[in-house]
Amino acid sequence: ALSMFGTTVGLYGIPWCKESLLLTAAMSVIGASMGILDTGGNVLALNTWGAEAGPHMQALHFSFAVGAFVAPLLAKMALGSSESKDFPVAGKTNQSVPRSVPTASAASVTSALKHHLGAEFLWSYVVIGTYLLFVSVFFFGLYLKGSSARDKSKASLQKCVFAKYHYALLALLFVFFFCYVGAEVTYGSYIFTYAKVFVEMKDSEAAAVNSVFWGAFAACRGLAIFFAACLYPGTMILLSIIGSAAASSCLTFFATHPATLWAGSAVYGASMATIFPSGISWIEQYTVVQGKSASLFVVGAALGEMCIPAVVGYLQGRFHHVPVVMYTALATSAMTVLLFPLMYKLANSPGDSSLREASESEDRKALLSNSGLHEDEE
C-alpha cells in the first residue's frame, strides 16, 4: 500500500517539475516505490498461497508484461494523434524557415505545441496516478481489516526450515536473475536497431519485430497461469532455458535472414516469459523466502537490467560490425543453462537430520493441536 502511494505521489509530481533536479527526485521516488512493490508483491503472493502460489505468481508477472506491451502503444497513439492532427503547421514552418533565424510564428506554434503536449502529459499522469491511488487505498483497507494472525501462524508452520545451502542458493539465484533480466531488457531494447542495421529492415518492420518479441513474452506469461497449475516450477524453468538457448543460438548464427529473426524473436520472447515467476516459486519449495531474500532477487534483476544493456551499448558502439546483442543473448542463455542444474543439485542435497526432526516434530504438533479431530483419527 505504501509503495503504491509513493508511486502515486511521484506521478502527480512529475508534470509540475520544471527543473531537472525536481524531476530526478520524483523519478527516484517512483523507482524506490516500484522496487518495494516488486519485492513485497512476490513475498505477499508466497505468504498468501504458499505451495499453491505458482499460478498466482504467473498472473502477477503477467500483469507486468501486459502493461509493458500496451502502455507504449497507447502513449504512441496519443502523442501521434496530437502531433499530426492538431499542429500540422509546425512541421511546414520548420522546413521553410532556417534554424538559425526563428520567426514569431514558429515560436508561437512551438509554444502552443509544448503547451498542448504538456496538457496531454498532465492528464495522462493524473489518470494513472489516480488509478494507483485507488489500488493503494484498497491495500490499506486489506491491511486495516486485520485477520493476519492466523495467516502468520500458518506461514510460520509452513516455512520453518532453511535449505542446507540456503545462502549459496540465494547467491546463485541472484546471478541467475541478473543474467536473465539483463538479457530480456537488452534484447527488447536493441532488437529494433539490430533489425535496421544488420538485417536492413525498414522502420515499420523493425518495430514489428520488437512488438513480436514483447507480444510473445506477454502471451506466454498469460498461458503460464494455466500451465503453472499442472507443471512444476522446475519443469517450466527447464523448458524455458532450453527454449531460450535454442532461440539465441539460431539468432546468433542465422539472424541475418529476416524469417529467422521473426521466428527467433517470437520463440526467445516466449521462452523468457516464465523464468522469473517460476524461479521464485521454485526456490520457495526448498527454502525460506522472506523479504530479504526476495529483495536480493529484485536487486539482482535490477542490476542486470541496468548493467548489461549499458555494456552492450558501449561494445556495440566500439565494434559496429559485430552483433553484440545476439552474442549477449547466447552468453546469458548459456549461463542460465549452467546455473540451474547446479542450483537444483544444491536444493535437493540432503539436509541436517536435526532440521528434519525439528520439522517433523513441529508438523506433528500442528496436526495434534487440531481440536476437531477425534482420538482414533489422531
352 contacts 164 by C-beta, under 8 angstroms: yes
Burial 281-292 (b: 16+ CB within 10 A, else e): bbbbebbbbeee
Which segments of the chain belong to CATH 1.20.1250.20?
Answer: 161-350
One-letter identity of residue 14: I
52: cell is 499453491
Average confidence (pLDDT) over 228-255: 89
Judged against a pLDDT cut of 80, whether residue 214 lies above it is answered with yes
278: cell is 517460476
- pLDDT of 65 reads 76
Helix (H) or strand (E) holding 288: none
Average confidence (pLDDT) over 81-103: 45
| Distance, CA of 40 to chain centre | 14
298 contacts 39 by C-beta, under 8 angstroms: yes
Separation between Cα atoms, residue 357 and residue 371, nearest integer Å: 24
CA count, 13 A, side-chain hemisphere, 204: 0
Separation between Cα atoms, residue 213 and residue 207, nearest integer Å: 10
Averaged pLDDT score across all residues of the chain: 77
Judged against a pLDDT cut of 60, whether residue 106 lies above it is answered with no
More confident residue, 226 or 38: 226
Taking CB atoms within 8 Å and a gap of at least 24, the contacts of 49-54 are: 50/154, 50/155, 50/158, 51/158, 51/284, 51/285, 53/281, 53/284, 54/228, 54/229, 54/233, 54/278, 54/281
Separation between Cα atoms, residue 103 and residue 255, nearest integer Å: 48
- What confidence tier does 72 reach under pLDDT thresholds 50, 70, 90? low
> pTM value?
0.69
Separation between Cα atoms, residue 165 and residue 72, nearest integer Å: 42
Q: What is the pLDDT of residues 12-28, one digit of tens each?
A: 998 888 888 999 999 99
- Maximum mean pLDDT: which of 75-89, 136-150, 305-319, 361-375: 305-319
Q: What is the pLDDT of residues 292-332, one digit of tens each?
A: 777 788 888 888 888 999 999 999 888 888 899 999 999 99
Calculate helix-pair angle for 203-227, 166-197, nearest 10 degrees: 150
Sign of the Cα torsion 357, 358, 361, 366 reads: negative
- Which residue, 211, 185, 312, is CA-closest to 265? 211
One-letter identity of residue 226: F
Q: What is the pLDDT of residues 114-164, one digit of tens each?
A: 665 556 677 778 888 898 999 999 999 888 886 554 455 454 445 456 667
216 contacts 265 by C-beta, under 8 angstroms: yes
Beta-carbon contacts of 111 under 8 Å, excluding residues fewer than 6 positions away, are: none
279: cell is 524461479
**Which residue matches cell numbers 501521434?**
80
One-letter identity of residue 35: G
The hierarchical CATH code for the domain 161-350 is: 1.20.1250.20
